[in-house]
Amino acid sequence: MDAYNILISHGINPSMQRIAIMEYLLNHRTHPSADDVYTNLSKTMPTLSKTTVYNTLKLLSEKGAALMLTIDENKVNFDGDTSPHTHFLCKTCGRIYDLPMAGSVKEVMAMDADGHLITEVHQYYRGICKNCLVTKK
Amino acid sequence: MDAYNILISHGINPSMQRIAIMEYLLNHRTHPSADDVYTNLSKTMPTLSKTTVYNTLKLLSEKGAALMLTIDENKVNFDGDTSPHTHFLCKTCGRIYDLPMAGSVKEVMAMDADGHLITEVHQYYRGICKNCLVTKK
DNA sequence: GTGCTTGCAAATCGTTTGCAATAGC
DNA sequence: GCTATTGCAAACGATTTGCAAGCAC
């Protein structure tokens, strides 16, 4: 599905800016921060404001069109892939990797949680990625 | 185990401030932020500085004597309970609850992760807690 | 022309940094 | 005395806010 239809299907008014930001998330699976999105998109959209990027990313995550990741202690990252998967943060290089989420973990989503209503399940690993492991030798 | 011995066993020099902060985490299972710890402890330790609280909480989490939680997008929270368990953030009241971690999830810790070295596993749920569900009716 | 969206600049606030004072062996 | 620890004040940086201008139906 393309950016336009993702917005539509999540009840989001598809403005030019919102399409561009959603498209950026779909084409760059790097879990960018708001600032990353702004910096890169403003090259081709010079009038784009940082406020709009923040507003839009918040809107996308609230409406379920994107994931807001809080794995990094310093900033929030976003992911256009909303399918269940695990995130791995390398404490050395700061990169976030995708990993498959164990089947047993997905089942938890339907679990009763002591009476609380669960709307989001996140699984985060931290450690040292294979690239940094090699470099360290 | 008391605060003093937790510090010792994690190779942390047990200064008065560090014992007080570790003790606060053990006695207040509310997943406080650095500011929470500072505000409450400074009532009885007026000379305590915020810098020391930040330094100490960082040290505790680095040495494994406490957990650093990044479930809240706005601030970092800390947990003196380092045993494997899941955290639930209520999007309405902002409180963080403890939930048991499914046995199948714990096993993941030993899993091979595409060659990456995993040192931490975190499981976060977000949603609306049972108190806020009742209030909303 | 009314309501939603955008954008600029300023403010906010959790956190970090620089550096001098202090404490403990 | 030397090293680790603490504390103050200033800086920082990601994010939010206030508000005016622009856009769309």
DSSP letter at A102 equals P
**Band of the pLDDT at B137, cuts 50, 70, 90?**
very low
- Max Cα distance, chain B (Å): 51
| Nearest CA-CA partner of B1 in B29, B16, B23, B18 | B23
Mean pLDDT of A59-74: 96
**B62 and B92 part of one domain:** no
Interatomic distance A55 CA / C10 C1' (Å): 18
Mean pLDDT of B126-134: 90
Q: How many domains does chain A have?
A: 2
Q: Over the stretch A44-63, which tens digit does the pLDDT of each residue have?
A: 999 999 999 999 999 999 99
**B45 and B111 part of one domain:** no
Structural domain of A133: 83-137
At residue A19, the 3 state secondary structure works out as: helix
**B10 and B41 part of one domain:** yes
**Band of the pLDDT at B101, cuts 50, 70, 90?**
confident
Whether the per-residue pLDDT at B91 is higher than 80: the answer is yes
**A101 and A69 part of one domain:** no
As to burial, measured by CB atoms within 10 angstroms (0-12 exposed, 13-18 middle, 19+ buried), residue A30 is middle
Q: Which residues of chain B make contact with A73, given a CB cutoff of 8 A?
A: 68, 70, 76
pLDDT of residue B136: 60
**B76 and B87 part of one domain:** no
B56 CB closer than 7 A to any strand D atom: yes
Interatomic distance A13 CA / C3 C1' (Å): 13
Interatomic distance B49 CA / D8 C1' (Å): 8
User: Cβ contacts of residue B92 below 8 Å, gap of 6+?
Assistant: B128, B129, B132, B136
Say which range, A33-42, A71-80, A111-120, B84-93, has the weakest mean pLDDT.
A111-120
Q: Which residues of B105-135 are buried (b: 16+ CB within 10 A; e: fewer)?
A: beebeeeebeebbbeebbbbbbbbbeebeee
Alpha-helical segments (H) within chain B: 3-9, 16-27, 34-44, 50-63, 103-107, 130-136
**A105 and A63 part of one domain:** no
Say which range, A29-43, B31-45, B94-108, has the weakest mean pLDDT.
B94-108
**B14 and B53 part of one domain:** yes
CA-atom Rg of chain B in angstroms = 16
CA A116, CA A75: separation in Å to the nearest integer? 27
What CATH number should be reported for the domain holding residue B53?
1.10.10.10
Higher pLDDT, B86 or B135: B86
CB pairs under 8 A between A and B: 124
Among B37, B56, B81, the domain-final residue is B81
What CATH number should be reported for the domain holding residue A136?
3.30.1490.190
Q: What percentage of chain B reaches a pLDDT higher than 90?
A: 82
Specify whether the CB–CB gap between A68 and A32 falls below 8 A. no
Among A62, A81, A100, the domain-final residue is A81
pLDDT of residue B111: 59
Whether the per-residue pLDDT at A105 is higher than 70: the answer is no
| Nearest CA-CA partner of A58 in B81, B117, B91 | B91
Mean pLDDT of A87-98: 94
CA B89, CA B111: separation in Å to the nearest integer? 26
**Band of the pLDDT at B105, cuts 50, 70, 90?**
low
- Tokens, residue B17: 């401030």
DSSP letter at B109 equals G
Whether the per-residue pLDDT at A115 is higher than 60: the answer is yes
Q: Over the stretch B42-73, which tens digit does the pLDDT of each residue have?
A: 999 999 999 999 999 999 999 999 999 999 99
Whether the per-residue pLDDT at A122 is higher than 70: the answer is yes
Specify whether the CB–CB gap between B111 and B67 falls below 8 A. no
Residue A122 burial (CB count, 10 A): 22
Indicate the pTM of the whole model.
0.92
User: Cβ contacts of residue A16 below 8 Å, gap of 6+?
Assistant: none
| Nearest CA-CA partner of A86 in A122, A111, A120, A61 | A122
Q: Over the stretch B23-45, which tens digit does the pLDDT of each residue have?
A: 999 999 999 999 999 999 999 99
**B66 and B2 part of one domain:** yes
For the segment 65-84 of chain B, residues whose CB is within 7 A of strand C: 74-76
Q: What percentage of chain A reaches a pLDDT higher than 70?
A: 91
Whether the per-residue pLDDT at B74 is higher than 90: the answer is yes
CA A78, CA A98: separation in Å to the nearest integer? 12
Which residues share a beta bridge with A128?
B117
CA A25, CA B133: separation in Å to the nearest integer? 33
pLDDT of residue B1: 87
